[in-house]
Amino acid sequence: MDFNFNPEDEAFRTEFREWLKANKQFAPHMGETTIGMAEGRGEFDQQKKWAKKMAEGRWLAPSWPEKYGGRGAGILQNIVYGEELARAGVAAPMIGMGISLFGPTLLHWGTEEQKQRFIPPIMKAEEIWCQGYSEPGSGSDLASLQTRAVEDGDYFVVNGQKVWTSIAQHADWIFLLVRTDPDAPKHKGISYLMVDMHSLGVTVRPLVQITGNKGFNEVFFEDVRVPKKNLVGEKNQGWQVAITTLMFERSGGGGDRGGMSQVRELVNLAKSLPRNGATAWDDGSVRQKIAEFACEATALRYTGYRQLTRRLKGMPPGPEGSMMKLCGTELNMRIQLFAMELLGPYSQIEYKAPFAVDKGKWSFRMLAARGGTIAAGSNQIQHNIIGERVLGLPKG
């Protein structure tokens, strides 16, 4: 496999690197605002300002078509984009799911009228989107969802509840899965709606996590009227649209595939911690463990490149996305637990508390790590996908 980028991709890299050099001061500091979802209004406003700055340079969603404010960047340039963000030590703005999930889905399934209405405000960071998938009894088994939408003239009337809805407290819109035919098999009779979060009958309640964050929410819908023109794709065929969104969720093209940046942070942590008159890094067993993490992170990076090869050949993302998600989140958990071992008693000091090493970010990450094994399809589901689609095992 040729790991070199062509001259056009390298020119794209140079342009973005120079832009980041000139503008990275506008980005929220990595490890603080970006360590979790921006739950407070002040944190979120920082993220939104960064998004607007990137939008000015057409860097917010460079892979989107130029006619909608993107750059028409190809797959390899999208990889370059992620690599340069990681190199600069900044993150893409965390302002909901419009850029990462909904926008690409709408570009694929939406009507031209829908694209003209909704894509430009996303590209300008003017409208924030959240995702209405999971329900209290329908998480990993998403197709069992029970939120209902009943036709009433030119409207759907929606009743139900969604849960674990990221940044719903800041969102203007939600892309929502609803059941429009309760008598159809569970993968049928589902529709994909765009719903204004400011509509009468929408209620948002925060969910406090073990980290203390309140970025997740419950969202309740009580007789919410949604215009039929907000239907994406065909009525009762929303499962296909939903799967498109999930493919974008699991096959993102970030530059830090596998978490090598966290391995580098772990090296710096080990070098800063005193141990037996030296530092933890001087302990061979510590170096060996961190080297194991580095090897796994590198293997994950190249597994991601295998998926990239499929996309360059015009094929859809394959089971590598499930492999990346499964192995990446489990590696992340092991990294955080090892950081707790290195920190010893300091690991008990909470995030941003006085005397906390690295402002307590490792303790925060450790508490948050388990959630990664559940989000975007639990790791148990990923085991099933790999077993069935890679190993050819029968369904249980």
Name, in order, each residue with C-beta under 8 angstroms of 296's C-beta and a sequence gap of 6 or more: 258, 327, 331
**Beta-carbon contacts of residue 271 (< 8 Å; ≥ 6 apart):** 279, 280, 281
Active site (annotated) includes residue 249: yes
User: What tokens were used for 83?
Assistant: 């690599």
Q: Is 394 left (phi over 0), alpha (psi -120 to 50) or beta?
A: beta
How far is the C-alpha of 89 from the C-alpha of 32, rounded, in Å?
12
The C-alpha atoms of residue 393 and residue 396 are separated, in whole angstroms, by 9
- Contact, 241 vs 310, CB < 8 A? no
Spatial separation of the C-alpha atoms in residues 289 and 296, rounded to whole Å: 11
First to last CA, the chain: 36
Within 344-390, residue ranges assigned H as helices are 361-372, 379-389
Beta bridge partners of 207: 216
> Which position has the token pair 């309740």?
220
Closest CA to 3 of 293, 383, 305, 257: 305
User: Can you list the positions of beta strands (E) in the chain?
Assistant: 129-132, 148-152, 155-162, 173-179, 190-196, 202-207, 216-227, 231-232, 274-275, 278-279
Question: What type of residue is 396?
Answer: G
- Paired residues of 279 in beta bridges: 274
How distant is the alpha carbon of residue 9 from its chain centre?
24
Which is catalytic among the residues 249, 265, 296, 320? 249
Q: What are phi and psi of 221, to 5 degrees?
A: -120, 120
Is-contact 322 382, C-beta < 8 A? yes
Catalytically active residues are: 249
